[in-house]
Amino acid sequence: MVKLAGRRTSPLWLHLINIYSASKGQTTTPVPSVTMGPHNQEKPVEKTAEGAAELAPASASASSPPPSLVWLRSCEKETVTPVEGKQSGRVPKWLSGRLTRNGPGRVQYGKTRFNHLFDGSSYLHQFNIASGKVTYQSRYLQSDTYKRNTEADRIVVSEFGTVAYPDPCKTILQRFMSKFEPPGKNASDNCVVSVMHLGDEMYALTETPHLRRVDPATLECVGDRTKLEEYIAVNQATAHPHVDPDGTVYNMGNSFSGKKGPTYNIIKFPPAKEVDGEVISSLEQAEIVASVPCQWRMYPSYYHSFGMSDEYFIFVEQPFVFSLRKFLFNHFLGKPYLGAIEWYPDQKTKFRVVKRETGEVLKTAYTADAFLTFHHTNAYEKDGQLVVDLAAMDDGQVIHQVMLNNLADPEFESPPATMPTHRRFVLPLNVEDSAVDSNLVTLPGTKCTAFKRQSGEVEVQGEVIADQYFDLPRINYRYNGKEYKYAYGVEINPKGTEFAKLVKMNVNTGETKTWHEEGKLVSEPVFVAAPDATKEDQGAVLSTLLSKEDPTFVALLVLDPAKWTEIARVVFKAQGTVTPTFHGQFAGTNEKWTDRPSRGTDRPSRDDRPAEDGPIEQRTDRPSSGRIDRAEDGPTEQWMDRPRGRTK
């Protein structure tokens, strides 16, 4: 495999044009185009272009929605200087560090409002914990996008579900010509999803290759935006990296410039090191350690996270795809990128498994009935089988349930098929000599099945661990990649997509415990292990509380993970409206990793690894019927231009 560290990519729009041009000569079966679209909601006051920033009522202000509609809140005043709160209970003395959370803090600029939950301007919340005391501070991520929108007092940078409102100062000709600016020229750096650390550097993340480094003391941006494509050949990356005990960070990102066509890539960021007195950063050492070919050339799968066990990376290639043609055309036609997403319920979801030591993609094709996942929980090997736990739903329409018009409608309720449950799949390894048409899952106590077919494909069926709606899963990260017992998450209310309860789940039995307080909403729970913990659930679980009545109320909640009871809370009065968050990370010095072997230091160099990433697959540009053909070296997938079958 060729080392790609330092290789820069050409602009995304150029790759899409090249891919599209290459596919023009290929013959494909015509398929009715029935693209998922936003629910038809009544437009406020003035009609706008499809997907354009909506015009809010003239009397609307940034804080006009009722406090109970937390996803429609906008913070009008930051809490820049850390403030002390009122504490009840006792914060553990050993708990020292900072909890930084990220989420949308503003949904409206002037008379324009975002359309989708994922579009709001990034707002950082931080709880600083030391010696049993806690302070709170918050600030807008000072991205280029935020500054431009604020200066113009309208949405001028397009987001996932919102197209920038046309500049009223431009002539008709100027507006027309602006449609032909390539995607990426004015790309958003609104890093609204999460945060991560590369060594002692903190970065705000989204699902583009643009990061923003943040000073953890002030929450101010440090320098200009960081462009991953200047360090590594990727055009996209997730906001859910994994971290090894030695500090090595792994992430996944798409590349549209590979010789084999689009690929899903595992990216490695080694810890910073000093060579001849010069510090080489993690970014400067970034490299692609594995590449998984995209089965549909013009329809790469959307993914929000990936799994990592001690020995394998696990990527779920789901029939929830980006139409690259629509992505390109929507840009030129002034439509949102959201409209380029399609869901193919008749296609299979595939588990693509990669050996961490070599970067080799396993030849075995693991398939399951279509499902959609955003969040992996954990993965581990046991008795020659790979256990994969994740939160999943049965219908890809979920992406349109969180349009802000839906969240503003008190009568709207998400259908059950779009609500996530916690699920387990078991993938048998080394199946070359296994019997055909027999269940290869031998782990006790599981309803999961895996049947090897004559083609070599392994059809897997998972089990729902617990029936309640469960997402944003977290674990004691010391058990990441290892057999574990507990997952922690939120129970989601289908009305308003509210995070109503905190959940502790025994993943082996499905038994759950919940924490709930009337009138309050919770956030993703973050587990912090006690320094000398001897049990998996020994430590503290951190979450934030918002009030559905008081928009300036915010609290840090500390739970005992073993008893699932409150041991402390610190309540703060913010300077302005407190907004909800998606994800966050705790950074402290209390965690010990000596119980886990360090990885990444004993592996062969890139030059010593096999030249091939895995099986050579014939590409097409669209998802096919999923037929698997037998080849000398294992199953070879039939590649096509786009997925066949109905879309929703």
The domain ranges of the chain are 12-26+54-592+617-637
State the pLDDT at residue 360. Answer: 97
Angle at alpha carbon of residue 206, lines to 205 and 211, rounded to 5°? 50
State the pLDDT at residue 593. Answer: 33
CA 158 to CA 53: how far, in whole Å?
A: 9
Backbone φ, ψ for residue 141 (5° rounding): -65, 120
State the pLDDT at residue 44. Answer: 33
CA 586 to CA 544: how far, in whole Å?
A: 13
- Of the candidates 646, 637, 609, 645, the residue with the CA atom closest to the CA atom of residue 294: 637
CA 38 to CA 72: how far, in whole Å?
A: 17
Count CB atoms within 10 A of the CB of residue 497: 21
Half-sphere exposure of 486 (CA within 13 A, CB side): 23
State the pLDDT at residue 266. Answer: 98
State the pLDDT at residue 9. Answer: 53
Residue 44: both structure tokens together: 């406020």
Alpha helices (H) in 240-323, listed in sequence order: none
pLDDT averaged per 10 residues, the chain (length 648):
44 49 38 35 39 57 72 97 98 97 97 96 98 97 97 95 72 47 71 95 95 98 95 93 96 83 94 93 96 92 97 98 89 87 96 98 97 98 98 95 93 94 98 93 96 96 97 98 98 91 98 97 98 97 98 98 98 98 86 37 37 38 39 37 62
State the pLDDT at residue 259. Answer: 72
CA 578 to CA 160: how far, in whole Å?
A: 23
State the pLDDT at residue 567. Answer: 98
Residue 260: both structure tokens together: 């084999």
Helix %, strand %, coil % of the chain (to 5): 10, 35, 50
CA 185 to CA 12: how far, in whole Å?
A: 10
- Ligand-binding annotation for 375, yes or no, is yes
CA 618 to CA 449: how far, in whole Å?
A: 29
State the pLDDT at residue 510. Answer: 97
- This prediction's pTM: 0.84
Q: What is the largest CA-CA distance in the chain?
A: 70
Q: What separation in angstroms does the CA of 247 have from each of 199, 270, 360, 475?
A: 7, 7, 23, 18
State the pLDDT at residue 482. Answer: 98
Half-sphere exposure of 155 (CA within 13 A, CB side): 27
- Of the candidates 481, 513, 322, the residue with the CA atom closest to the CA atom of residue 388: 481
Half-sphere exposure of 61 (CA within 13 A, CB side): 6
State the pLDDT at residue 165. Answer: 72
State the pLDDT at residue 620. Answer: 47
